[in-house]
Amino acid sequence: MKIYFDGSSWMTGSELEDKSKRYSTLISKHFGAEEYNLASGGASNNRIVRQLVTENDIADYDLAIIQMSMAMRWEYYDDTQKEWVQLRPITQPSEKEHKKWLRYYYGHMYSNHFGTTYEHMFSQLVRDHCKVKGTPLILLTNRHADGFKYTTSPTNFKFDLDISDPKYPRERKGHPNEEGHQMICNDILDLLKK
Amino acid sequence: MKTKIYFDGDSVTYGKELFDLSKRFSALVCEKLNAEEHNIALNGGSNRRVMRNLIDNLGKFDRYVIQMAKRSRTEWYDEDEDKWQIVTNQPVKSGNYDFWKRYYREIYHDNYGITDELICYNFIRALLVNVPHLILWSGDYDFNLPADLVYKKGSFPVRRGHPNEEGHQMICDDILNIWR
């Protein structure tokens, strides 16, 4: 059995001393499955969709567990470094002009309406893409994880589990601690039983 | 009850440069099929806009015809105007001109556009998997996705850059041929 995981730092196990305690590993161990975790700190929903749709074939997996990230984030392709760069309000671009450009974007262009609309769009794509490929999906969000850095507005779109629920205990910088990861793992297993 | 057909895309589907919009391919297809035309294409429209519109219009129509737009385009939501603004690589009507000029000069790369195009293609196919639909594309760069109808530059007669009446009739015939 192979399980596909993607998301942000909440899925990488950020702040855990022992990464084998992150919920993706706990779930994989539970099923005796191969864990394929593509999550990355600071990941945008654009990255999650890109990796799902253009870089992997989800039909090769028996289960997908995808954690949507903060709507405010996005990404661009940096041709000089030949890599995708994740953007967020706290990003510190190396070049002054880019910094100015990014500040302008978040200050004058970005709106919650934009973010929520695209969050909905990307989430729907993740759901329908997995459905078409025949891979069961658990769709998570941590959209309420950090109200100081990231503004959010309510959405009617339903996620299977909101892991930014304060019932999951956290570490100092705000990521789930070992107990939190175990609880998230248990809740996902409950969802899968249903 | 009349069949309802949804059309979205950019200026090609809108019928730009036609004197009479009843000659655009969406109207011709609907006339032939005695169907109700719902064409929300927009000059300068982007694939992002197509995706956003599709979510809002799922389940409301019997058939869908989606024309994918130039991959470099995008959009943003203008809170002051309370509307979505189109963004093209000549962003004179996009608002925040300097911002978008810099975007196309320093940030945008064709790898981004190609990826976005592939995401949009999969999005349309996934959302419309059990619904009769067609994806068409028209443009002047290499496009390698398996759209149902692909019109590279020179595929149909144009008036300046857009299909003329004859061009629209050709697109209409191609759509009807597939649906037959």
Helix or strand or coil: residue B161?
coil
Strand partners for B135: B66
Kindly report the pTM of this predicted structure: 0.94
Contact status of A53 with chain B (Cβ, < 8 Å): yes
Please state, in angstroms and rounded to a whole number, the distance separating the CA atoms of residues A40 and B160: 47
Fold of A2-193: Rossmann fold (3.40.50)
**Chain segment A55-82, per-residue pLDDT in tens:** 999 999 999 999 999 999 999 999 989 9
Chain A and chain B share a number of CB contacts under 8 A equal to 73
Q: Is the pLDDT confidence value at A148 over 70?
A: no
- The rounded distance, in Å, linking the Cα atoms of A150 and A91 is 12
> Which residue, among B1, B3, B6, has the nearest Cα to B133 in the 3D structure?
B6
CATH of the domain at B143: 3.40.50.1110
Binding-site residues on chain B for chain A (CB distance < 8 A)? 51-52, 55, 76-77, 79, 96, 99, 102-103, 106-109, 111-112, 115, 118-119, 122-123, 125-127, 129
Closest residue of chain A to B104, computed from CA coordinates: A76
| C-alpha–C-alpha distance, residues B151 and B140, integer Å | 9
Tokens of A41: 């700190």
- Show the domain range for B25: 4-179
If one counts the domains in chain B, the total is: 1
Q: Which residues contact A183 (CB under 8 A, 6 or more apart)?
A: A167, A168, A169, A176
- Which residues in chain B touch residue A120, judged by CB atoms under 8 angstroms apart? 55
Predicted ipTM beyond 0.90 = yes
Residue A82 parent element (H or E)? none
Contact A71, A115 (CB under 8 A): yes
**pLDDT score for A92:** 65
Helix (H) or strand (E) holding B66: strand B63-68
Integer Cα distance of A112 and A115 in angstroms: 5
State the pLDDT confidence band at A97, using cuts at 50, 70 and 90.
low
Using alpha carbons, select from A120, A111, A110 the residue that is nearest to residue A155: A120
